């Protein structure tokens, strides 16, 4: 395992379906539950879900904003922190803005004997895609 430092900032784009964007007319307010078109991220609620070193902000999502096809999260991880090993029933896109770490991805996790996950080095200005239901974890080392 490599020794790395810095804060890994990830924007999670959770995509359940890729649909063409609908045509809308110009407006100062988003059509989703009166959501303002422009919002200040620093004023949005954040949580760490009981995980030290994690800051999670839902920028747009199903529970808060009534979206059905996409969720956008901003997450910041401190060096040495990691996500739990988990999977989603939708695709996930990561954009690494700062820092570095390791992605563990078990693409064969749907099979009877999934085997060992593959390791991928992730770094600032990189992006990666997690397919539907693939078990994964993002790990930051110091």
Domain boundaries, the chain: 8-19+26-139
Backbone φ, ψ for residue 4 (5° rounding): -135, 155
Q: What topology does CATH give the domain 8-19+26-139?
A: Jelly Rolls (2.60.120)
Can you tell me the distance from the alpha carbon of 44 to that of 31, in angstroms, rounded to the nearest whole number? 19
* pTM, two decimal places: 0.67
Can you tell me the distance from the alpha carbon of 87 to that of 92, in angstroms, rounded to the nearest whole number? 10
Can you tell me the distance from the alpha carbon of 88 to that of 136, in angstroms, rounded to the nearest whole number? 9
The tens-digit pLDDT sequence of the chain (142 residues) is: 333 334 444 444 333 333 344 433 344 455 566 677 788 999 989 988 888 888 889 888 776 677 777 788 898 889 988 888 888 888 889 999 999 999 999 987 666 666 789 999 999 999 999 988 899 999 887 5
The contacts of residue 85 (CB under 8 Å, 6+ apart) are 104, 135, 136, 137
């Amino acid at each position: 395992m490599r020794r790395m430092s810095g804060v890994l900032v990830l924007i999670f784009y959770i995509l359940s379906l890729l649909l063409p964007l609908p045509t809308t007319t110009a407006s100062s307010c988003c059509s989703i539950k009166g959501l303002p078109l422009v919002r200040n991220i620093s004023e949005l609620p954040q949580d760490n879900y009981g995980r030290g070193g994690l800051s999670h902000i839902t920028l747009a999502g199903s529970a808060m904003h009534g979206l059905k096809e996409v969720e956008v999260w901003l997450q910041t991880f401190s060096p040495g922190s990691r996500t739990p090993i988990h999977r989603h029933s939708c695709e996930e896109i990561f954009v690494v803005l700062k820092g570095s770490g390791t992605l563990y991805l078990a693409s064969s996790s749907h099979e009877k004997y999934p085997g060992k996950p593959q390791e991928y080095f992730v770094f600032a200005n990189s992006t990666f895609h997690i397919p539907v239901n693939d078990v994964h974890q993002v790990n930051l080392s110091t």
